């Protein structure tokens, strides 16, 4: 612990003012980065989250130290953490392509609230270092993510007679280390036979020959066709 902060760790007016100003600054720094990238939660949201968490932490300490009330300070912090989960959930959406967006923003809001709790309690070292690490993750790691090679997805349009045939195809994919990321099934019937159609989205970490993979599926028993899209 740094002793230079010892005089402002309490609940004096100067200490409270410094804590709230620091919380305001932290919320602004993290929030501006999010606003710059057009994320759902901007700098105003982050400022309010960090400030609110700091005030909650300060209130718990004041009730216990200033008023000598039998208050469990940790319960207030636990309530803040729970509330942050609800706020963060509002930034998470699922697109039409079943992709999840907003997780980083939600995690950033949650972490910002915890930083606010740290600052409000006088744990300046944790709050400042935590802020620097959040900025590092949301700026540098964002560009690093684009350089990471992802396994490509591909789709196969499948036609088959029985549902058991689809089960065999799924087992075949699993045996060849291919992950099914999406599966949509439709059924169509004519006067004599029942035929099912499925659109399977796959991902493989291996250097898979997609054409050969689809061809192997097409030659399986009960499969009418398997076309690579």
Q: Is 199 helix (H, G, I), strand (E, B) or coil?
A: strand
What is the model's pLDDT at position 174?
87
Q: Are residues 190 and 104 in the same domain?
A: no
Q: How far lies 124's CA from each of 26, 45, 64, in Å?
A: 11, 21, 20
Q: Are residues 183 and 224 in the same domain?
A: yes
Kindly state whether residues 76 and 104 are assigned to the same domain. Answer: yes
Crossing angle of helices 13-36 and 124-145, in 10° steps, is 0
* Whether 91 and 182 share a structural domain: no
Residues 136 and 173 in one domain: no
Which residues of the chain fall below pLDDT 70? Answer: 95-99, 145-146, 148-150, 187-193
Note the pLDDT of residue 126.
93
Q: Give residue 189's pLDDT.
A: 56
Q: What is the CATH number of the domain that holds 182?
A: 3.30.70.260
Question: Which of these three, 145, 178, 204, is where a domain ends?
Answer: 145
Pure H helices in 5-42: 13-36
**What's the rounded Cα separation, in Å, for the pair 202 and 209?**
13
Contact 184, 199 (CB under 8 A): yes
Are residues 132 and 160 located together in one domain of the fold? Answer: no
pLDDT for the residue numbered 93 = 78
* Separation of alpha carbons 152 and 183, rounded Å: 16
In the prediction, which pLDDT does 131 show? 95
Do 159 and 77 lie in one domain? The reply is no
Q: What is the pLDDT of residue 90?
A: 80
| pLDDT, position 123 | 93
Residues 194 and 100 placed together within one structural domain of the fold: no
Same domain flag for 11 and 65: yes
Question: Of the candidates 93, 128, 145, which is a domain's last residue?
Answer: 145
Total number of domains in the chain? 2
Record the tokens describing residue 146, joined without a space.
């684009």
Do 30 and 109 fall into the same domain?
yes
Question: Two tokens at 80?
Answer: 């803040």
What phi and psi, each to the nearest 5 degrees, are found at residue 156?
-125, 125
Looking at the structure, tell me whether residues 87 and 130 fall in a common domain. Answer: yes
Rounded to 5 degrees, what are φ and ψ at 163?
-65, -30
Question: What's the domain range around 205?
Answer: 153-228
Which pTM value belongs to this model? 0.67
| Predicted pLDDT at 72 | 78
* 119-162 tens-digit pLDDT: 999 999 999 999 999 999 888 887 776 676 667 788 999 999 88
Q: Are residues 98 and 164 in the same domain?
A: no
d(CA 86, CA 81): 9
Domain ends where: 145, 162, 181?
145
């Amino acid at each position: 612990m740094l002793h230079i902060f010892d005089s402002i760790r309490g609940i004096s007016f100067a200490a409270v003012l410094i804590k709230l100003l620091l919380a305001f600054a932290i919320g602004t720094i993290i929030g501006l980065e999010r606003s710059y990238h057009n994320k759902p939660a901007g700098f105003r949201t982050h400022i309010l989250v960090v400030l609110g968490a700091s005030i909650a932490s300060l209130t718990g300490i004041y009730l216990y130290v200033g008023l000598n009330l039998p208050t469990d300070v940790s319960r207030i912090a636990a309530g803040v953490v729970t509330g942050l989960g609800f706020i963060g959930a509002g930034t998470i959406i699922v697109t039409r392509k079943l992709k999840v967006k907003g997780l980083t923003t939600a995690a950033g809001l949650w972490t910002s609230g915890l930083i606010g709790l740290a600052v409000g309690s006088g744990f300046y070292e944790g709050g400042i270092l935590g802020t620097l690490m959040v900025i590092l993750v949301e700026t540098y790691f964002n560009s690093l993510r684009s350089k990471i090679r992802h396994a490509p997805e591909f789709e196969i349009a499948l036609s088959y007679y029985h549902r058991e045939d689809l089960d065999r195809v799924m087992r075949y994919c699993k045996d060849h280390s291919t992950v099914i990321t999406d599966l949509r099934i439709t059924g169509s019937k004519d006067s004599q036979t029942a035929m099912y159609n499925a659109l399977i989205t796959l991902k493989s970490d291996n250097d898979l020959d997609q054409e050969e993979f689809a061809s192997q599926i097409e030659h399986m028993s009960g499969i009418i066709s398997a076309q690579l899209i």
